Each structure stands twice: as C-alpha cells, then as structure tokens.
Amino acid sequence: MQLTGAEIVIRCLQEEKVEYVFGYPGGSVLYIYDELFKQDKFKHVLVRHEQAAVHAADAYSRSSNKIGVCLVTSGPGVTNAVTGIATAHMDSVPMVIISGQVPTAYIGQDAFQECDTVGITRPCVKHNFLVKDVRDLAMTLKKAFYIAKTGRPGPVLVDIPKDITNQKCEFEYPKTVTMRSYNPVVKGHSGQIKKAVQMLLEAKRPMIYAGGGVILSDAGEKLTKLARSLGYPVTNTLMGLGGYPATDKQSLGMLGMHGTYEANMAMQHCDVLIAVGARFDDRVIGNPANFAEVSRKIIHIDIDPSSISKRVKVDVPIVGNLPDVLDELQKLLEASAGVPDPKALAAWWKQIDEWRSKKSLKYKQGKEIIMPQYVIEKLYEVTGGDAFITSDVGQHQMWAAQYYKFDKPRRWINSGGLGTMGVGLPYAMGVRFANPKATVACVTGEGSIQMNIQELSTAKQFRLPIKIINLNNRYLGMVRQWQQMFHGNRYAESYVDALPDFVKLAEAYGHVGMKIERPADVEPALREAFTKHKNDLVFMDFLTDQTANVYPMVAAGKGLSEMILAEEL
C-alpha cells in the first residue's frame, strides 16, 4: 500500500508498540502531527518546552526499559531538545528522537527554522540519520529502534525533512535489521570468565562495584544472587542504586564523591575488585592515579569495550551483556570446587564493620530548622521505601541518593553523567506515564525546579499526581558548598534572591501547594500529601537549613580514602 512519509512514521511507531510520544508541534512536523491526530493507537504528550519532552521520554525509558520516543520540530525545536538528548546519552538511555527538518531543497539555504540537526546532535547521540528518500524511512526508523536498545543503549535521532513526510511510497515494516557495521557483542569470553571466577575465589578482601549497567540491562537479580552466593560486599554507583538492595547487610551503600565511608574505604583497600556495568568515572573513583597507587586485581564486565581500561587498567576484561555474563559466572562458580576463604572474608567484614561504625551519614536534626537529610528519611518512611524517586542535580540529589534506600532497580531516576539541572519534574512525568499507578516523588531544589517549572502545566493537563519535594535553602546548595570549602566562603552568584511563592505558584497551575518550615511538621505534611492528596500534584516547599553540606565528600582530584567527614568540621 502507498503511504505518505508522515503515515509511515506513525505506522512504524505503532509497529514498535510505542505507547507515548512526548513532543511539541511545529512547521516541519505538521504532516506527522496531522497523521498522529487521525490515530489512537498511541498517545501524544504535549509538553511546554522540548527539553522536557526529551527528559520525560528519557525517564519513561529509565523507569520501564521501554524505548522513550519524542517528536520535535526543526531548528529551535531540536536545539531545545539537545540538553535532553545529551543527558540521555551520558547515561546510556535507549531513546528515539524524531525531528522535523526543512524541506530537502531548502537544506543549506539558511531557511526559516533550519539548523544542522545531524551535525549539532552527532556528539551526543549513539547514532543519527537524515532521511533523504521516503523509501528509506521505514528501514531507518527500524534501525533507530534497533540501535537504541542493543549493545550499550543510547539515544538515536532521525531527522526527517518536511517534503519526505508528504511523499508517498510502498510501505512494509521491515521484520529484521542486519547491519554489517554494527554487531554488538553479547556473550562474554568463556576463558576470561573462568579467570574471573578463579580470581574471585582467591580474594582475601573482595569488593563488588556495581554501576548503571546493572539497571540498564536488568541484571539486578542476577547480581544479587551472585553477591549472596559469594558473601562479598557490594557498593552501588549513583547510577546503579537499586541494582543491589540497599537495605541488605552486604550493601555498603553508594560510593564515590559523596559515598559512604565504608564503601570508599573498601573500594580503596580491597584486593580483588569486580566492576559490573560501571565505568570508573571521576565522580566515582576520584583521582585515577591515587586509585592506582594501591595494588588490586580488577575484573571488569561491560558491554562497551571502550569503557574498559579507559580510566583504570584492568586485569580481566569481559565484554558482554551483563545478564549473560553473570549467568555464566554463577554457573562456573557453582561448578567450582573452591569456596571463598572464610577466615579472610570474616576479617574483611570485621574491617568493613569498623568503617561502618563511623556512621558517616549521621546528622543532627534540631527543633528549629529542618535538615534536608531528615526530609528524605521521612519521605522514605512515608512512602514505605517503594516510591519512584526522581531528582534534579545538586545537594538534594546527593541526599536523596544517600538517604532513600533503594531496594529495587529503576526506582531512582536522575541525571548522573551530564548532571542536568531541571530534569526532576519532567522525569517524574515520564516515570508516571510508564508506571501509571506508581507513587512518584521529585526531590528537587529551588534552583533546579525553576529550570523546567513550566511543566507544572503539562502535569495538570495529564493529571499527574507527582509529589514535588522542594528542599529550599535559598542557595544553589552544591555551588555554595564548593565555594565554602574551596573558594574562601565567597558565595559568588549562588544565593537565589526573589524566589517565587511556590505555594501560590503551584496553585496558579491548579495544583496543591504546601510550605513546611518546622521539623515537627515534616512527617505530618508528607503523610497528608501522600494520603489525602494522593491524586493531586503537591508542591511541598520545605524551608531547610541553609548551611547543610553533603558529607562525606571526596574533593575533586583527591583519592577515595581522603574523605572529608561531617564530624571533622
């Protein structure tokens, strides 16, 4: 059957079982929107800014492992989307972005709302395409979905000139894709896996370091099984939270710049380290030179060969799909005659418990001023630890990561790699679309929330009962913390004056607003929000301590064991 390009786009999305498209219309995508209007197989979510469309699609994907899809127009539609695309790319989130382009004949003519979309987005996508012939459209979209979700996932952009969406051709959705240039490795090398098992069994001070790859590949259960059968300590990165249950006794919590004392010390002092879907990034291991000073054997499992030995030399690299590799590891481990050295392991745990007894996350909650950490702890209690938590970027993000104990994967949604302020609210929207009955809270600050505050309008339109936990300290807190610690208390442009009345603002958008100023009111207010206002969006403005800092802290460029602890100040 002959279909127009616009019809083909819609049919392809239907074939891919897309449920939601997050987008914003404009000139170049009008034919596509016209066809979208005529169908009811998937829904369109109209955001208020293209950046939010991408973030929402991103979180839809992160919280469900389905592919998030967005649709934006050419020129400013695309450039607005770039921050969202780069955010998804840094965290390896599978997504498909469809962008309109000016008609083929206008490309390069500086036409109205023209930009070099493929050029602008090239460094921040897994791959992108410019469709030049309507006959290539279906195959290109098929490839986009295939590339996005296979191998190391990532966003793929398809740029479609307007004239292509109005031309006709025969449509048949391809059933399979084969690309001679793209064949991601799945199965890990058996010889390497054998070596890893041997090394793991010989360890005296073992450590499991699990990253975002565990979440992305749905390997949480297999990792947990492996860790438990070995009895080894586990630490999760910011992106890996929930990959191993935080409340389990083998969990040392998060590691890195704001990791727990025990996790960072164990990371530095272990003799065998197994990195699972993690990439040794600067916020995780601190200074690589300092990290390398201590000798330890490293096993590294990752789907992306370029992640291996990029920042830290490893001894046993295993390239493969995590669940498959973990399965094989488990099998070999069970078949092996050896067991971990019980004496060495007991001594190691004794050492870890000593580190734990420092209680590096302790803080004091007085009667007058609300401590931000306290709000997160109460949020954890009130939601039974079972909510989806999105966050923005800054101090509140670290507190949420430290104090909300994630036991399940895909419950913690944040921008770890790019560190994009403004993701929290659109992320919460995306999560709620992917999980229509879930409790969703967005932990944010008065700085970040204003970077996509317009989405309160989208949330109203779609009746999304998100709970916004605004930790309002009137400062760009993380900036202020660094200025206090490293820039002689000179708070350059980190104080935010003339804040809106968030209660009235929420009400203006048709939501419920609450202002909480006293510690005693924190829990009752949260209970009210999550029970009485279960079906409303509630903007909870918590006025919190202006001087609170995130501890422990490993200063940039320092080694993991050089932590600044709260008590030392």
418 is a contact residue toward another protein (CB under 8 A)? no
Residue among 111, 118, 369, 503 that touches another protein (CB under 8 A): 118
* C-beta closer to another protein: residue 83 or 397: 83
* CB of 187 vs another protein, minimal distance in Å: 17
| Residues making up the chain, counted from first to last | 569
122 is a contact residue toward another protein (CB under 8 A)? yes
* CB of 417 vs another protein, minimal distance in Å: 15
119 is a contact residue toward another protein (CB under 8 A)? yes
* C-beta closer to another protein: residue 117 or 373: 117
- Listing DSSP states for 292-340 in one string gives HHS--EEEEEES-GGGTTSSS--SEEEES-HHHHHHHHHHHHHH-S---
127 is a contact residue toward another protein (CB under 8 A)? yes
Interface with another protein by CB under 8 A: which range of 119-127, 225-233, 273-281, 384-392?
Answer: 119-127
Interface with another protein by CB under 8 A: which range of 303-311, 380-388, 421-429, 547-555?
Answer: 303-311
Interface with another protein by CB under 8 A: which range of 4-12, 123-131, 250-258, 543-551?
Answer: 123-131
Does residue 234 come out as left (phi exceeding 0), alpha (psi in the -120 to 50 range) or beta?
A: beta
Q: Residue 204: exposed, middle, or buried by beta-carbon count in 10 A (0-12, 13-18, 19+)?
A: middle
Residue among 176, 178, 179, 334 that touches another protein (CB under 8 A): 179
* C-beta closer to another protein: residue 112 or 182: 182
* C-beta closer to another protein: residue 305 or 500: 305
Does residue 510 come out as left (phi exceeding 0), alpha (psi in the -120 to 50 range) or beta?
A: left
3-state secondary structure of 362: coil
Give the tokens for residue 421: 């302020």
112 tagged catalytic: yes
Angle at 219 between CA 218 and CA 220, to 5 degrees: 95
> What order of strands is seen across the sheet that includes strand 251-254?
251-254, 234-236, 206-210, 272-276, 297-302, 316-319
* C-beta closer to another protein: residue 122 or 463: 122
310 is a contact residue toward another protein (CB under 8 A)? yes
108 is a contact residue toward another protein (CB under 8 A)? no
130 is a contact residue toward another protein (CB under 8 A)? yes
162 tagged catalytic: yes
* Bridge partner residues of 210 (DSSP): 236, 276
Interface with another protein by CB under 8 A: which range of 210-218, 256-264, 268-276, 301-309?
Answer: 301-309
Show contacts of 141-145: CB within 8 Å, 24+ apart: 141/8, 141/9, 141/12, 141/13, 141/16, 141/96, 142/12, 142/173, 142/174, 142/177, 143/177, 143/179, 144/96, 145/16, 145/67, 145/96
182 is a contact residue toward another protein (CB under 8 A)? yes
- Listing DSSP states for 473-493 in one string gives -SB-HHHHHHHHHHSTT--TT
DSSP percent split of the chain into helix, strand, coil, nearest 5? 40, 20, 40
* C-beta closer to another protein: residue 304 or 528: 304
Backbone phi and psi for residue 294, each to the nearest 5 degrees, phi listed first:
-85, 135
* CB of 481 vs another protein, minimal distance in Å: 30
Backbone phi and psi for residue 469, each to the nearest 5 degrees, phi listed first:
-105, 95
* C-beta closer to another protein: residue 139 or 344: 139
What's 3's DSSP letter? E
* C-beta closer to another protein: residue 179 or 569: 179
304 is a contact residue toward another protein (CB under 8 A)? yes
22 tagged catalytic: no
147 is a contact residue toward another protein (CB under 8 A)? yes
306 is a contact residue toward another protein (CB under 8 A)? yes
* CB of 156 vs another protein, minimal distance in Å: 9
Neighbours of 555 (CB within 10 A): 15
Binding-site size, another protein (CB under 8 A): 18
Residue from 113, 351, 365, 454 carrying the catalytic annotation: 113
Residue among 1, 175, 178, 180 that touches another protein (CB under 8 A): 180
Residue among 305, 338, 366, 500 that touches another protein (CB under 8 A): 305
Q: What gap in Å lies between CA 448 and CA 475, rounded to an integer?
A: 11
- Bond before 552 cis per omega within 30 degrees: yes
Residue from 50, 328, 377, 455 carrying the catalytic annotation: 50
* C-beta closer to another protein: residue 9 or 314: 314
Residue among 110, 123, 497, 535 that touches another protein (CB under 8 A): 123
b or e along 216-243 (b: 16 or more beta carbons within 10 Å of the residue's beta carbon)? bbebbebbbebbeebebbbbbbbbbbbb
Residues 6 or more apart from 412 whose CB is under 8 A from it?
241, 242, 389, 391, 400, 401, 404, 406
* C-beta closer to another protein: residue 154 or 477: 154
Interface with another protein by CB under 8 A: which range of 175-183, 256-264, 377-385, 508-516?
Answer: 175-183
Interface with another protein by CB under 8 A: which range of 36-44, 178-186, 392-400, 520-528?
Answer: 178-186
Residues 6 or more apart from 402 whose CB is under 8 A from it?
253, 254, 258, 260, 361, 373, 376, 550
- On the CB side of 445, CA atoms within 13 Å amount to 28
Give which of 269, 209, 208 is closest to 239, Cα–Cα: 209
* CB of 127 vs another protein, minimal distance in Å: 4
Interface with another protein by CB under 8 A: which range of 85-93, 105-113, 255-263, 298-306?
Answer: 298-306
502 tagged catalytic: no
* CB of 146 vs another protein, minimal distance in Å: 10
Residue from 199, 398, 429, 478 carrying the catalytic annotation: 478
Q: In the complex, which residues of this chain contact another protein (CB under 8 A)?
A: 118-119, 122-123, 126-127, 130, 132, 147, 179-182, 304-306, 309-310
Q: Which residues are catalytic?
A: 50, 112-113, 162, 478
